[in-house]
Amino acid sequence: MKGGKINNSRRKFLKSSGLVTLSTFLPLSFYACQPDQNSKIRFGLTTDSHYADRENAGTRYYRDSIDKMNEFVAVMNREKVDFVTHLGDFKDEDLNKEATDTLRYLETLERAYGKFNGPRYHCIGNHDVDSITKSQFLSNIENTGIDKSKSYYSFDKNGFHFIVLDANYHADGRDQFYKEGADWQDANIPEVQYNWLQQDLENNELPTIVFCHHPLYEFSKPDAKFHVNDYHKFQQLFEVSGKVLAVFQGHVHEEAHTEINGIHYVTQLGMVDYEGLENNSFAIVEIDDQAIHIKGYKRVGNQTLAV
């Protein structure tokens, strides 16, 4: 299916769903928590908190993330968003890499995150499976209404469909575990998850937002690769469905946006970076009949992305 046909099909779907197609990208100049009266849904978004009891390294102030998470939750409760999502690398490890200590960091941050008065969700990041396994991580967090064994899943809210993906796999489909030597630049979504995603999109009739820790578009630096292997086939799946509005990702600790065949791919700043609450970073995302509005807090910028 060619891009023009995909976009036309997608426009028809969005129109039938009550979302009007625009063609502009409008940067906002200020942060405002007040919800637009036309908003259909509002959710809180943050990523890469990397909490651990360890000294800072470079821009990463690991201990500060507990206070930053408390502030995030307080703002989300005050603003009464519909749910919150963390895009992965929730916790980190210290230099000893002991599972007992790493679990303590996870449990401490999850208690803070759990003070949000509503549904909350996690993506799994590569640092979430460093000195603890994926099953250990999942056993100690809550994804509201989701079975604890599930690392990828979907849910509906206020007339929208949300999909959470997990790219922490080896190419052969085994879970990655970095204490056993996994390569963080080798991010894969295995065939069984791809097939699940395809079926999930086919069964869904709602406008859709996708969350994944690793970028689902090409994102490289001179010395590192950050994107999911075979990301093109996931882009194609999103496009063919005609339902996906945007994909939100973390991992790169940078703020970036690109639009590919009518779908927005957005990466967010890491909460862990830079010292103190004045350098916190998170956002409220509002979706209305015309656009996705990203209303950034402190270091995070504001964007309006036409749908």
Return the CATH number at 253. 3.60.21.10
Residues 32-77: tens digit of each pLDDT: 445 455 669 999 999 999 999 999 999 999 999 999 999 999 999 9
Share of the chain above pLDDT 90, in %: 82
Please give the tally of structural domains in the chain: 1
State both tokens at 74. Answer: 């307080």
What is the chain's mean pLDDT, rounded? 90
H or E element that contains 27: strand 25-27
Residue 205 three-state SS: coil
Looking at the predicted structure, is the pLDDT value of residue 13 above 70? no
- Distance of alpha carbon 256 from alpha carbon 59, whole angstroms: 19
220 pLDDT band, cuts 50/70/90, is: confident
Q: Are 201 and 208 spatial neighbours (Cβ–Cβ below 8 Å)?
A: yes
pLDDT of residue 221: 87
**What's this model's pTM, rounded to 2 decimal places?**
0.90
Residues 102-152: tens digit of each pLDDT: 999 999 999 999 999 999 999 999 999 999 999 999 999 999 999 999 999
Domain boundaries, position 94: 3-306
